[in-house]
A and B are shown apart, each in its own frame.
Chain A
Amino acid sequence: MASEERYYHSVRLDKEKCAGCIHCIQRCPTQAIRVRNGKAIILAERCIDCGECIRVCPHKAKYAERDTIDIIRKFKYKVALPAPSLYGQISRVRDVNLLLNALRGLGFDDVFEVAAAAERISDATKKFLKENKDIPRPLISSACPAIVRLITVCYPNLIDRILPLHSPMEEAGRLARIRAVEKTGLTPQEIGIFFITPCPAKITAIRHSQENEKSNIDGAVAINDIYPALVSQLGKLGEQEDVQHAGRIGISWGMTGGEAAGTFSEDSMAVDGIENCMNLLGEIEDEKLPRVDFVELNACMGGCVGGVLTAENPFIAKARLNHIRKYLPNAMNRVGDGEFDAIVTEKQPEEIPALRLADNLQDAMEKMNRLNELLDTFPRLDCGTCGAPSCRALAEDIVRGYTTEQDCIFRIRDELAGSALKNAVNDIIPPPFRKKEQ
């Protein structure tokens, strides 16, 4: 249906495992999935890599393409960038240093906490909000790549509200490479920077930078992939180096509310869960949030601890983060004079006009009229048997020329109602679709 090459996605389908059921099509927040010939198809233009389909698929047919830990061998010097959400994954680890040293034990030469970079982003955010009072409010966090992608697809008029700062992950990658070059004297290309990711959206952000700015990260390893090895490393720890350099604010980025709290503004707010985020974005479009300065949006419930590639129950992980951060200083990282510009993004994300019916208004109106006519003839049950998530989505697919009305089992039943096949059809089709003669 759409060009697959233009938009890289980490979220993928294992055709062998796909049973052709309708769980994913109805859960997908951007209606990016259809079922055709017994298999799901992901529409590349619409997919935002939120991972909801991975979460809901009962057959484990949806997965996130990611790197295995072996990828690090390609580089002379290897640096791990643990997401703050990693700190909440393992029981009885109250000391972040332990965890970071265990992570090094997996084959990394160094670790650079994304939480440390997050504190710099918090500092830069404060500064940006203060110095740019003229930009319409609220501004929206750029940290969750699924949300940024959602805005470019469904809320393009809010693109200029996205905070023009790099994500903590990218900032960590940039700083980690500089530090590694200084430490080792190697060239930047000889250094491999790897994000330990809680979600597929981050992988997509690395492999297909939205802003067309090259990512500072060379690979992404999933938290749940390294989890067993990390736990066993914890048991073998010998002498430990003091590598921890993030405080309370940075670690709090791993859960909902952390980033908003880091702005130190009473006019900041935080939302999680993709549907809640969509509702809030709608409210921002309608100018119903006049007094809010900054909005943190997390596609996953609970924030990054709720990512689909984590290992632990997000509520437990959150409780652990609260314990771990308790006795840490507020922040251990700031943006120094002259460092601010490196954190600002060069380009705004581009609109992806996947929801528009046509390029010009005339064509779009003709299609909309046809869509509404079709919709009146559909049962409005959103049963999913046509492979589209709703009757409206089917009508839209038809006017876009992707399929025909014959996909609707109710239409077939009604068409055959006047024919000799009437009774036979009624016996064959599933009970919900049968029509009892009065």
Chain B
Amino acid sequence: MDPVRLHYDISGSDFTTAGEASGKIKKTLKSLGFSPAVVRNVTIAVYEAEINMVIHAGGGAIDADIFPDRIEVVLKDEGPGIQDIDLAMQEGWSTAPENVRQLGFGAGMGLPNIKKYSDDLQIESEVGRGTTIRITVQNK
């Protein structure tokens, strides 16, 4: 069975309208008939990662592979990278700039939420080179 593959290029200009890719992935999962819980988990995890990508890295690329038993989403950017991943995983830790926080983003819940809503989260990051995030949600 070939996975359903979706690809989105994300521009980093406006984070208030970000969420296009997670929205389209959600629509695809719904029309495939995945359970509400799986759809919700993937959508929320990808949305958080998509917002991060726009706020911190000025955009990037999102690839979603939908298999019958799991959904794998890879978000790759060429942004500043994450200095300390353990610290970034802590709830409430944020390096978002003030103007972003004023709009209610950058509460330091992005990465913790991705972890919470996914079954597996892998982060590879190199300072100055960029970050790649792999999110897996199992279809249980």
Contact = CB atoms under 8 A, between A and B. Distances in A.
A198 to B, nearest CB: 31
Interface in A235-251: none
B87 interface: no
Contact of A286 (B1, B2, B47): B47
A361 B71 CA distance: 13
Contact of A364 (B5, B6, B33): B33
Interface in B1-40: 1-6, 23, 26, 28, 30-34, 36, 39-40
Most buried by B among A353, A358, A361: A361
Given A361-B68, A369-B2, A286 B44 contact: yes
Contacts of B33: 353, 356-361, 364
A369 B2 CA distance: 8
A399 to B, nearest CB: 11
Contacts of B73: none
A193 B1 CA distance: 57
B68 A356 contact: no
A282 interface: yes
B31 A357 contact: yes
A187 interface: no
Interface residues of A, number: 21
Contacts of B44: 286-287
Nearest to B7: A372
Contacts of A184: none
B32 A357 contact: yes
A268 B3 CA distance: 42
Contacts of A286: 26, 40, 43-44, 47
Contacts of A368: 4, 28, 31-32, 66
A157 B40 contact: yes
A360 B68 CA distance: 10
A365 B43 contact: no
Contacts of A366: 1
Contacts of A359: 33
Contacts of B26: 282, 285-286
A355 interface: yes
Contacts of B5: 372
Nearest to B34: A361
A362 B36 contact: no
B59 to A, nearest CB: 21
B68 A285 contact: no
Contact of A365 (B23, B32, B39): B32
A362 B68 contact: yes
Contacts of A156: 36
A365 B33 CA distance: 9
Nearest to B6: A372
Contacts of B47: 286
* Most interface-central of B30, B33, B39 (chain A CB within 10 A): B33
Given A356-B32, A365-B66, A368-B4, 20 more contacts: A156-B36, A157-B36, A157-B39, A157-B40, A285-B43, A287-B40, A287-B44, A356-B30, A356-B33, A357-B32, A357-B33, A359-B33, A360-B33, A361-B32, A361-B68, A362-B1, A365-B2, A368-B31, A368-B32, A372-B6
7 contacts: A285-B26, A286-B26, A355-B31, A360-B33, A361-B33, A364-B32, A365-B4
Interface of B: 1-6, 23, 26, 28, 30-34, 36, 39-40, 43-44, 47, 66, 68
